[in-house]
Amino acid sequence: MDYLFFFIYLIVFCVLINYIPFVKKAELSSKLIGLLFLYRIIGAVSIGWISYKYAPQNDYWSLHNEGLIEFNLLKSNPSFFLKGLLPIGYNTNVNSFFSTNHSYWNELRNNIIIKLLAVLNFISFGNYYINALFINGFAFLGSIGLYRTLLHIYKEKNNLLIFCCFLIPTTIYFSSGVHKDVIVFGALGLYSYALYFMVEEGFSYKKLVLLLSNFLILMLMRNFLFLALIPATIGFLLSKKYAVSNTKISIAFLVIGLALLTTADNFLPNLQPLKIITNRKTDFDNLKTANSQLDNFELKPTLSSFLRNSPTALNHGFLRPYIWETKNVFSFLLSLELLLFESLILIDVYFYFKNRNLQKQHFHRFLFYMLLISGIMIVTTGFIVPNYNSIARYRSLFLPYLITPILMKLYLIQKSKNFTTHG
C-alpha cells in the first residue's frame, strides 16, 4: 500500500509543480519540468535504497527513525515536541555556534529536519520515500532559481545549462536524501536567485523575504557556508556598485582575508576561523576510520600551518578520489565524473590563455560569486574531511556553482569562433 501512495503522490507532484508561478517562469516545457523532477526523485529513491541496504546505520534512515519517534511525541505532547527546538541543556555561548561537541546549534540542524519529518509524517504515513518527495520539492525550487538566474545571464536556453542546474549525477544523488544537504542545496539556489535579481533588477519586499529567509536557513543548517557566502555576496555587491573588476576584487579579498585570519583573535576572540576549522578537523579525525580514509595531516590554527597544508587540502578537495584508488563501483563512478570535470577545467584554462579577450566577454560578475562560493567550500572541505567519499558528498552540492561557468564559457567561446568562421 505504501508503494501505491508513493506513486500517487509522485504523479500529483509532477503535475502540480508545473502550476507553481516560480517554476512556470523558467520557460521550460511542462513535460521537461516533470522529467527533471522525476530525475531528482530517482536520485532520492536510489540513495534511500542503497543506504538502507548497504549502510543500515546511515544518517538518512537514522533521521527518518527519529522523525517517527518525534511524530508520536507530537501527537501525544505537542508542547514538549516544540520545546525540543529550544536551547535547553546545551552550551549556548557564542563559541558553540561552530562547535560539534555538546552544542545546541549543532544539534539544531538535525532537530529541524527531525521535527519537519515528524510533521510530514501526518500526510506521508511515516514513509521515507514520500517524505523525500516533499523535501525534494524544495530542492527542486532551488535548481529552478539557479536556472532562472543563469538564463537571465546567458540569454539562451540550452542543454548545458539544464545539465548544470538539474542533472549533475553526484549533485542529484547526494542532495536528494532525507538529510540537511537537500535543504542546504535548495536554500542556496533560492538565496542566489534572490540576491542576483535584487542587485540586477532592483529591490522588492518579496526578494528581500526570499533572501533573508534562505540566508537564515543556510546559517542554521550549514554554518560553515558563512566562510563562502559572506565574501561572495559582498564581492558581488561591490562589483555591481563600483564596477570593479573581478580580478581586483579577488586580490582585495585575498589580502583582507589573510589580514583577518592573522589578526581575528585580537579583536574577535570568540570567532577565530582558523581555530574553528582546526577544531572541526579534529572532530572528523576522531570519528571511526572509513574505507575511503585519506592520509591524515597535522593542522594547527596558524596561518603558516594552513599555508603549508594548502596543497594537501586542494588535492583532497578538488582531486580525490583518484580513479586508481577506488575500491568499489560507487567510488569509481565518483572518480570518473570528477575526472571529466577536471578535464573541462584544464580545457578552460587553455582557452583562457588563448582567448583572453573572448573570455572576458562571457564572464558575468555573478559567475565570480559562484566560483568563490564553490572554491572556498571545496578547499575548506579538503582541510577538514579525512575521507574521499564524504568529500565527494560535500563537494557535490557546489558542483553546479563550479562547473556552470566553465562549461558555459567553453560553449560560448566555441559558438563565437564558429560564428566568426562562418561569417
Mean pLDDT by 10 residues, the chain (423 residues): 84 91 92 95 94 84 92 89 73 58 76 93 92 95 96 86 94 93 95 94 90 93 83 82 65 63 59 80 82 86 88 93 88 91 83 62 76 90 91 94 87 66 49
Q: CA 179 to CA 60: how far, in whole Å?
A: 6
Q: Do 228 and 216 reside in the same domain of the chain?
A: no
Can you give the pLDDT at residue 155? 83
Q: Do 159 and 240 reside in the same domain of the chain?
A: no
Q: Do 40 and 134 reside in the same domain of the chain?
A: yes
Q: Do 44 and 154 reside in the same domain of the chain?
A: yes
- Last residue in a domain, options 186, 221, 256: 221
> Model-level pTM?
0.91
Q: Do 288 and 166 reside in the same domain of the chain?
A: no
Q: Do 115 and 182 reside in the same domain of the chain?
A: yes
Can you give the pLDDT at residue 140? 97
Q: CA 160 to CA 387: how far, in whole Å?
A: 30
Can you give the pLDDT at residue 94? 42
Enter the C-alpha cell of residue 292.
575511503
For 302, half-sphere exposure in the C-beta direction (CA atoms, 13 angstrom radius) is 5
Q: Do 212 and 242 reside in the same domain of the chain?
A: no
What is the tally of structural domains in the chain? Answer: 2
- Last residue in a domain, options 221, 251, 268: 221
Q: Read off the DSSP letter of residue 99.
A: -
- Last residue in a domain, options 206, 221, 236: 221
Q: Do 369 and 393 reside in the same domain of the chain?
A: yes
Q: Is 397 helix (H, G, I), strand (E, B) or coil?
A: coil
Enter the C-alpha cell of residue 332.
569509481
Residues 6 or more apart from 384 whose CB is under 8 A from it? Answer: 277, 280, 281, 284
Q: Do 99 and 162 reside in the same domain of the chain?
A: yes
Residues 6 or more apart from 407 whose CB is under 8 A from it? Answer: 160, 163, 164, 344
Q: Do 274 and 421 reside in the same domain of the chain?
A: yes
Can you give the pLDDT at residue 313? 93
Q: Do 261 and 380 reside in the same domain of the chain?
A: yes
Q: Contact at 8 Å (CB) between 302 and 369? A: no
Burial class (CB in 10 A: 0-12, 13-18, 19+), 28: buried
Can you give the pLDDT at residue 285? 84
Q: Which residue has the cell 514538549?
A: 80
Residue type, 352: Y
Domain with 125 in it: 1-221
Can you give the pLDDT at residue 397? 94
Q: Is 168 helix (H, G, I), strand (E, B) or coil?
A: coil
Q: Do 233 and 375 reside in the same domain of the chain?
A: yes
